[in-house]
Each structure stands twice: as structure tokens, then as C-alpha cells.
Structure 1
Amino acid sequence: MWDNIINYFSTLEQHPLQRMAILVGGLLLFWIIEGAIPLLPLRYKKNKLRHAAVNFGFTVIHLIIHTFLAILIVMLSDWCREQDFGMVYWFNANVAGAIVIGVLALDFSSWLVHLVMHKVPLLWRFHLIHHSDNNVDVTTGLRHHPGDSLLRGIFFLLLIFVSGAPMYSVMIYQTLVVLATAFTHANISLPKRVDKALSYFLVSPNMHKVHHHWVQPYTDSNYGAVFSIWDHLFRTFTTLDPKKIRYGLDKYYPNEKDEDFMALMKRPFQKLKE
């Protein structure tokens, strides 16, 4: 079993069509589900397809950036293996251990970079584009300004360096985070007990929707990507009744511009309105 897992995920980086199929498949699956069991009534500026087109514009740029970053990811992971550098090698971990260490380290990188972007004003300028979406649905998950995407890539590389994550561990995590991002942003209504039970260990839809609430301190909470353990551990976990959630921003950016692609691209380079 482990041989099959290692062989598949070790070479997944070399099969962009398979990776794209996972991304598109996850989006389509939760697009259908959110249409069947919506959490909140969303009010798009024009319609859902127009809203999706804006977010897909950012998605395409995000994927281009990470295609180039993938070269560095492979080189760094291979270097760690050759030099026996990183926690995987320091602890002499077996395959299962390498997967656990790599996945947890990379998920921590997602939590940490997210926290940093909220706390550093210059970086928040780029990340607020993600939060400016007034209608959070499955397409919001990859709505990241290029500056946001680059910073995520830097932190990802940093935690590969620290953990020594082998490529199969890296690709397992990237597969998990793609599916988790679609799941947690999708406008789906789960039974409250199910959502709450999930939130003890995984980031649940309701948990992440709190992060998209338009006012602080709710915006500055629930930073997790796949696992909720970091928010519980560092006390950044917050709950809010989904019925009280309102998306968008109470300052910094005019909410009526949340589907203006060019304005969103330019916004990080303009003075913020308090």
C-alpha cells in the first residue's frame, strides 16, 4: 500500500492534468452541493457565473505562479533528501512518519502565513482582496492576489526546508489543501453537530465562514487551512452563529467593487481607507 501511495504522489507533480482534474473536480463537486444545500442566501452583483469568472481570473494567476514555484519545491525537497536535512531525517522517520511530519508542517505553514498576512499591514493590503468577496462560495477559495500567492509560496518553501518533507508528502498535502479549500469556502449547510464535530480537528465550513465575517475580531481568527489544531493550540479559534455572518469588509475597500478585477489587482498599491 505504502509503495503505491509513494509512487503516485512522488510523480503527481509531473502530471499537471491529473492535478488540474483534482482541482476542477473538487470545485464542481462543491459547486453542485452548495446549490443543493446553501448555508446563506448570496446576492451576486450580476449572477453566480460572473462572480465565478472574477475569482477564476485570480485562480489562473495563482496557478501560474505556483507552477514556477513547483520547480523550487522539487529542488528543495530533493536537496533535503540528499543532505538528510529536516525533521523527517533527524527523526529517522519511516514513510508514515514522513507523511505525518510533512503534512502537519506544511499545514502549519498555511496557518502561519495566514496569521502574518493579517498582522502585517503591508501584507494585509494583498490579502484583503480575498476578504473583499461579498459572496463567499466555492470559487472564493483561490481568490488570491499574486502578492498573496507569492508569500504563501515562500512560507511553503520555508516549512519544506525545516521539515525535510519528501515530494510524496508535499503532494499529499497539496491535494488535501485543494479539496479542503473548496470544502471550507463552499456555501454549504451541514448539520450543526456535524460541523462542530469536524471543527475539533478539521477546518469546517462554518468555522471558516467566521473568518470571512466582515468585522474584526472575527476576521482575525480561524486561520487554519486543513486542520483546526493550530487555531485551538494558539487560541485563535472563534465561533459565531452562521445566521449572523456577513461577508465583505467594513473598511479598507468599497464593497461594491468586489467584482471589479482590475480594481482588485491595483488595490494593494493604493492607500487604504480606514
Structure 2
Amino acid sequence: MPETAFTMWNELLAHFQTLEQRPLERMAILVGGLLFFWIVEGAIPLFPLKYKKTKLRHAGVNFVFTVIHLIIHTFLAIVIIKLSDWCAETQFGIVYWTNASILLTVIIGVLALDFSSWLVHLVMHKVPLLWRFHLIHHSDTNVDVTTGLRHHPGDSLLRGIFFLLLIFISGAPMYSVMIYQTLVVLATAFTHANISLPVKLDQVLSWVLISPNMHKVHHHWKQPYTDSNYGAVFSIWDRLLGTFSSLDIKQVKYGLDRYYPAEKDEEVLTLLTKPFKKPEA
């Protein structure tokens, strides 16, 4: 590697290594991604969404869950840093056991954490108690860029636990962790945004990444489509592990076919308390 490129690579890794310590920069990435795709979905919408009141009202409801998610993550970040540092100090995890190069360490860490996103998503769909929390995400009948962080606090906490588990197994250092978190924030905004891409382009993207149409199938109101396409950034897990499915995007209808009344998908208090009530059959 040329000296200049080597220096830039090290500077990039150093930047991500300490990114967790710069909350304003991380917030700028999140907000920037949301605003960018908010503008794009306004220019090339996939569906003419019919909000209960207005798009801003819908965004406000989802923003409440976004704030709660960020508060939970702030506390989890302390544990994430300590666990990643412990792995480095004790040389524990796949990246240390294999004596991986820096590039391979990034790849292993990113793939391991993306697998954690796929795995926790699958588990939440398969375990009835956990599904009660996750269905709040699926109850949104107007999927747009703000839906991406519409997660019940219980859902967010479980995602954090699986995230920690895969850091522990992989030994992912903080630069690898923060590269993945940056990717997943942008990918979440992209895949939930109400944007219309050429079908062929979307299909090509879906061979490597979770594309918007691929994820919209996951938000279809009927099973088995709801129980498919669990990936967050990369589509490899769905394709390798048999959870990939496709559907003509024109046939997709958002929401749930049971468990939750569509007319209440913007009632924050109802959404927060719903998981503690037994779902209707």
C-alpha cells in the first residue's frame, strides 16, 4: 500500500475508533441520513402514502421512539466500549484468534455485527413474547424514512444485547463497531424510505445489500412475507439461510393482518403499552 494511502487508512480507522466519543457527529450522521432520504422520497415517492393527519405528525410519533432508542443506546455505548476494550486487552474473539489483518478485522467485525442484526430480528419474529415488542415497528401503515427507528424500548434493548453478544464472539474493535453502526444508520434510512428505484436497479442492489423493495416486502401486512428479509445492511444472511423472499412491490400493503388495529398506529401511549397486553389472535 502506498504511504499516502496507508496514512489515510490509519487516519480513517482512528476517526472511527473514537467516533463513539463524539455524540454530535454521530447525531449529524443520523439526522443527515434522515433528511437526505426525506427529501428524496418527496421527489420520487414509491407509494402515495395516506397519513392519518400529516407527514410531520407521523414523523413526530416515530421521533418519540427514535429519542428513546438513542437514550437506550447512549447507556449501551458504555458497555460496548468496555466490552470491545476487554476483547482487545485479553485478545478474545475471532479477530484475535485468527490474527486477522486490520482490513480483515473490519470485515469480520462488520459482518458479525450485521449477523447480529439479522439474528435478533429473526428471534423477535419467532418468539411470541418478543414479537409483542417488535410488532410496534410493523404496525406503521405508512412506511417512510422515519419508520426505521420506530422501535419499542424493549425491542431496542434486545437489539443491544445481541449486538454485545456478537462483539464478544468476534472481538470487534471500536473502529469496526463504529464503521458498522454508521453503515446501519444510513442503510436503515435507505431501506425504509418511500423511494421509487428502477426495479432492475433494486434487484441488482439486493444481491449484496438490503434494497428498499426487498425490505418493503418484510413490511407487507401478511405472512409469510412479514417473516422474511430480516437483514439490516447485507442480504447475504437472508439468501444463505433461506429467509429471502420477493413480491411485486405493487402488491405490498403495510401494517399487520392481526394483533394491532391500523387506526391506532400513531397513538404513542397505546404503542408503548401494547406489548404488555396479550396479542389478539
Which interval holds the TM-score relative to the shorter structure? over 0.9
* Contact 1:2-1:95 at 8 Å conserved across structures: no
1:75 Cα shift? 0.2
Aligned twin of 2:238: 231
Question: What amino acid maps onto 1:126 in structure 2?
Answer: F
Say if 2:211 is the partner of 1:204.
yes
Which blocks of at least 5 consecutive residues in structure 1 are unaligned? none
Superposed counterparts of 1:118-129, under 5 Å: 118-129=125-136
Aligned twin of 1:31: 38
Superposed counterparts of 1:1-274, under 5 Å: 1-274=8-281
SS in 1 for 2:181: helix
1:229 and 1:128 map into 2 onto residues whose CA distance is: 24
1:233 and 1:242 map into 2 onto residues whose CA distance is: 23
1:5 Cα shift? 1.3
1:148 Cα shift? 0.1
Question: What amino acid maps onto 2:169 in structure 1?
Answer: V
Could you state the TM-score of these two structures normalised by the residue count of structure 2? 0.97
For each residue in 1:132-181, what CA deviation from the matched residue of structure 2 results, as whole angstroms up to 9, or x when unmatched? 00000000000000000000000000000000000000000000000000
Question: What amino acid maps onto 1:235 in structure 2?
Answer: G
Could you state the TM-score of these two structures normalised by the residue count of structure 1? 1.00
2:13 and 2:225 map into 1 onto residues whose CA distance is: 39
Number of aligned positions between the proteins: 274
1:104 and 1:40 map into 2 onto residues whose CA distance is: 32
Question: What amino acid maps onto 1:63 in structure 2?
Answer: L
1:271 Cα shift? 1.6
For each residue in 1:108-134, what CA deviation from the matched residue of structure 2 results, as whole angstroms up to 9, or x when unmatched? 000000000000000000000000000
* Contact 1:58-1:143 at 8 Å conserved across structures: yes
Question: What amino acid maps onto 1:156 in structure 2?
Answer: F
For each residue in 1:214-269, what CA deviation from the matched residue of structure 2 results, as whole angstroms up to 9, or x when unmatched? 00000000000000000000011000111100000110011100000000000000
1:105 and 1:230 map into 2 onto residues whose CA distance is: 11
Percent identity of paired positions between Structure 1 and Structure 2: 77
SS in 1 for 2:227: coil
1:207 Cα shift? 0.1
For each residue in 1:174-223, what CA deviation from the matched residue of structure 2 results, as whole angstroms up to 9, or x when unmatched? 00000000000000000011000000010000000000000000000000
1:41 Cα shift? 1.2
1:54 Cα shift? 0.2
Superposed CA RMSD: 0.4
* Moved >4 Å (runs of 4+): none
Aligned twin of 2:4: none
1:245 and 1:6 map into 2 onto residues whose CA distance is: 40
2:110 and 2:55 map into 1 onto residues whose CA distance is: 34
